[in-house]
């Protein structure tokens, strides 16, 4: 459980008490009072929160990394399987792809 999740599990009243904590001694008293346990690292995060006024982020938010944008759409020649192709032609009558390996040509779908 992350510190943010532990915080979210508190009643609103206790969350207000939590936000009012100003130092490590008050934090320990609060934890004892509510039967909560935090690691030293989590306590440090909590104290950081009391100073900055910002709630520590949940792990999910920290892990919210942008996904990769795959570029696996390479055109492959249907005759020889080569991906060394080029597109040419006009919008009308249409674009064509030419395989540089076997010179096969086919229309762009």
Which positions lie near Zn ion, rule CB under 5 A? 77, 79-80, 82, 99, 101-102, 104
User: Least separation, in Å, of the C-beta of 84 and Zn ion?
Assistant: 8
Only one residue has tokens 């690292």, namely 41
User: Least separation, in Å, of the C-beta of 103 and Zn ion?
Assistant: 7
User: Least separation, in Å, of the C-beta of 97 and Zn ion?
Assistant: 10
Which C-beta is closer to Zn ion: that of 31 or that of 99? 99
Residue 94 zone, left/alpha/beta (φ > 0; ψ -120 to 50; rest):
left
| E-strand stretches of the chain | 85-90, 94-99, 105-107
Say if residue 91 is exposed, middle or buried (CB neighbours under 10 Å; 0-12, 13-18, 19+): exposed
Which C-beta is closer to Zn ion: that of 31 or that of 77? 77
Which C-beta is closer to Zn ion: that of 79 or that of 95? 79
């Amino acid at each position: 459980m992350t510190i943010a999740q532990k915080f979210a599990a508190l009643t609103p009243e206790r969350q207000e008490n939590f936000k009012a904590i100003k130092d490590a001694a008050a934090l320990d008293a609060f934890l004892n009072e509510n039967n909560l346990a935090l690691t030293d690292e989590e306590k440090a995060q909590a104290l950081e929160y009391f100073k900055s006024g910002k709630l520590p982020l949940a792990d999910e938010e920290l892990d919210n990394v942008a996904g990769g944008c795959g570029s696996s759409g390479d055109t492959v020649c249907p005759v020889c399987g080569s991906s060394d192709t080029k597109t040419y032609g006009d919008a009308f009558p249409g674009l064509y792809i030419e395989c540089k390996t076997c010179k096969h040509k086919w229309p762009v779908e």
